[in-house]
C-alpha cells in the first residue's frame, strides 16, 4: 500500500510513535508499505514553527528533515496534477495544506494515514 503521511502523523512518528494509533504504528513499521510525505507537510511545519505553534519541535523543521533522510520515506513535490485536483475538491475542509494532501493522495492513488476526521469526507482513501 502507498501511504501518504499527514503532517501530524509525521510529527508523532518522529517523536517516538507515542500518539499514533496502534494500527497506524503497525502500518508505519511494516516494510511492505511505501511511505510518502508531501513537501506541503514540511512547509506547514515550517510555518507553524515560525508562528510558535510547534514548540515541541525542538530544532525546527530541519530536525524532521534530518530524521526523514534516515527513514524509507519519499518526499513528494507539488505537481500540476495535484493543483488541478485541488481545484475540483468540495470545500468540506478549508485548510489549504490538508486540501493539497488530499489532492496528492487522489492524484497518486495513495491512502492518507491520518487521524483528521474531516479528511475521510473526501474521495481520498484514508486509514488510522
What's the pLDDT tens digit per position in 28-39?
999 999 999 999
CA dist 92 and 84 (Å) reads 17
Instruction: Kindly state the average pLDDT of the residues 103-112.
Output: 96
Whether residue 9 has pLDDT greater than 90 = yes
Give the chain's domain count. Answer: 1
CATH number, position 72: 3.40.50.1010
Query: Residue 36: which domain range?
Result: 2-127
Closest CA to 36 of 113, 116, 90: 113
Question: What order do you get walking across the sheet with 125-127 strand by strand?
Answer: 73-76, 34-38, 2-5, 111-113, 125-127
What pLDDT digit, counting tens, does each position of 42-94 carry? Answer: 999 999 999 999 877 778 899 999 989 999 999 999 999 999 999 999 988 78
Asked if 89 and 122 touch (Cβ cutoff 8 Å), the reply is yes
Amino acid at each position: 500500500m502507498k501511504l501518504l503521511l499527514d503532517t501530524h502523523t509525521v510529527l508523532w512518528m518522529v517523536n517516538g510513535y507515542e500518539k499514533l494509533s496502534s494500527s497506524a504504528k503497525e502500518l508505519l513499521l511494516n516494510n511492505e508499505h511505501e511511505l510518502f510525505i508531501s513537501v506541503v507537510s514540511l512547509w506547514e511545519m515550517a510555518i507553524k514553527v515560525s508562528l510558535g505553534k510547534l514548540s515541541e519541535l525542538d530544532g525546527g523543521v530541519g530536525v524532521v528533515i534530518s530524521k526523514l533522510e534516515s527513514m524509507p520515506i519519499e518526499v513528494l513535490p507539488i505537481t500540476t496534477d495535484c493543483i488541478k485536483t485541488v481545484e475540483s475538491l468540495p470545500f468540506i475542509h478549508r485548510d489549504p495544506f490538508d486540501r493539497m494532501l488530499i489532492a496528492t493522495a487522489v492524484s497518486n492513488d495513495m491512502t492518507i494515514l491520518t487521524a483528521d476526521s474531516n479528511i475521510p469526507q473526501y474521495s481520498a482513501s484514508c486509514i488510522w
